[in-house]
Amino acid sequence: MPYLFTSESVSEGHPDKVADQISDALIDNFLAFDPSSKVACETLVTTGQVVLAGEIKTDTYLDVQKIAREVIRKIGYTKSEYMFEANSCGVFSALHDQSADINQGVDRKVENNDFETLANAQGAGDQGMMFGYATSETDNYMPLPLDLAHAILREMSHIRNNESDLMPYLRPDAKSQVTIEYSDDDQPIRIDTIVVSTQHDDFADDETMLAKIREDVINIVIPRVKAKLKPELHGLFDADITYYINPTGKFVIGGPHGDTGLTGRKIIVDTYGGKGAHGGGAFSGKDPSKVDRSAAYATRHIAKNMVAAGLCDQVLVQVSYAIGVAKPCGLYVNTYGTSKVDMHDGAIAEKIAQIFDMRPYAIEQRLKLRNPIYSETAAYGHMGRKNEVVTKTFGSNGKTKEVEVELFTWEKLDFVDKVKEAFGL
């Protein structure tokens, strides 16, 4: 029987995403000047105020106020009427040293610096379970509802920042939601509902404003999103789509002034839009010794390579850890009955565990996670993104440093051949 599935996204100006971007900017700056930094940084943003709190072990000094203001300015909070503005907001720092009791389980002194010694010495930064998911329904192996929800807001952000004459009233805060009808064999049939709520300048006439925003989203944004999709998906956009555009009727008060934002409060937006599963741990503000982040990336890497290898059409991968212990407690695989090999999922999991070393140090090395690569993850999802090499510039204490880094390494299909070989595909 056909069914409906919904995913949402939020823009870089959403208050929770503002918090995520500040936390990850701090991570990047710490790692740029001290790659061994251990950081857990939480951010709170509200009317005219930013609060930074967390635990840090590092050999570098940062002007955290300057970094936070740069992030806010880049997002677009640059006008006093927003009641949250880069130059005038207060930035309060309550960052302090990391607990030595926690650190001793992650940083153990070793005599030999060979890979095996280091991999066995570095324990997980916390207990918990992490999930990765992939599906063949899109080119980037992501669930289609989430992919479209992200695409709508990315297009609106592009218009706001680069073609503002098209929709000159746009402000930074926005949310989207896409509901897709699937067939009983899990194939997308059509888009049922699209919801967009965007912050906007004040209008003299609310009814005229609402009609204008609705018209622009349907006639400017949606066609641009559709044009960037592969042709076989164009048919999902039919005349029967239900649109809810700013359904409350007005959205002038927004951003951190309209809703307090916190790091890590959009973990479903960050991952798979509700498909598969989530272990509950946030990503932003955490260095890669925290397996909440690194192991979630590693399981996505596994899942994507499994589907790309033709082993299955969709898969959920779980890994779990005990704090301070390098070896995972277990690896679980669920192919949802789509496996192309004559093996139970438990047997598939055993083979996968032999291909991918899931000890925290091994994950850090394989995915190059001790580099300043995290600011780019903090809006529009950590998964399904473009793997590319970029040069980033950082400044601290009067010093400037350029770093060439590879972004979204967990999206690489570099283990496809190994998966094929192991399963005889």
Report the amino acid identity of residue 149: A
Kind and range of the H or E run holding 336: none
251 known ligand binder: yes
Which two structure tokens, joined as six digits, stand for 217? 């989203």
User: What residue has token string 């991968």?
Assistant: 317
109 known ligand binder: no
3 state DSSP class of 264: coil
137 known ligand binder: no
14 known ligand binder: yes
3 state DSSP class of 378: coil
CA distances from 401 to 33, 64, 71, 377, 398 (A): 8, 17, 18, 21, 10
190 known ligand binder: no
286 known ligand binder: yes
Which two structure tokens, joined as six digits, stand for 11? 């823009």
250 known ligand binder: yes
17 known ligand binder: no
175 known ligand binder: yes
79 known ligand binder: no
Report the amino acid identity of residue 108: R
Question: Contact 284/263 with Cβ under 8 angstroms?
Answer: yes
228 known ligand binder: no
Question: Contact 65/401 with Cβ under 8 angstroms?
Answer: no
Residue 379 CA, chain-centre distance (Å), reads 6
- Of 65, 95, 46, which Cα lies nearest the Cα of 285? 95
Question: Contact 412/387 with Cβ under 8 angstroms?
Answer: yes
266 known ligand binder: yes
Kind and range of the H or E run holding 73: helix 64-75
Question: Contact 405/390 with Cβ under 8 angstroms?
Answer: yes
Burial of 424 (0-12, 13-18, 19+ CB in 10 A): exposed
Report which DSSP code applies to 184: T
Residue 68 backbone dihedrals phi, psi, to 5 degrees = -60, -45
3 state DSSP class of 152: helix
Report which DSSP code applies to 344: -
Residue 251 CA, chain-centre distance (Å), reads 25
173 known ligand binder: yes
CA distances from 135 to 5, 147, 238, 317 (A): 14, 12, 24, 12
Which two structure tokens, joined as six digits, stand for 326? 């390098």
Residues paired with 245 in a beta bridge: 196
327 known ligand binder: no
**Largest interatomic CA distance in the chain:** 72
238 known ligand binder: no
Residue ranges for the known binding site for L-methionine are 55, 98, 259, 290
Residue ranges for the known binding site for ATP are 14, 173-175, 250-251, 259, 265-266, 282, 286
Residue ranges for the known binding site are 14, 16, 42, 55, 98, 173-175, 250-251, 259, 265-266, 282, 286, 290
Residue ranges for the known binding site for K(+) are 42
Residue ranges for the known binding site for Mg(2+) are 16
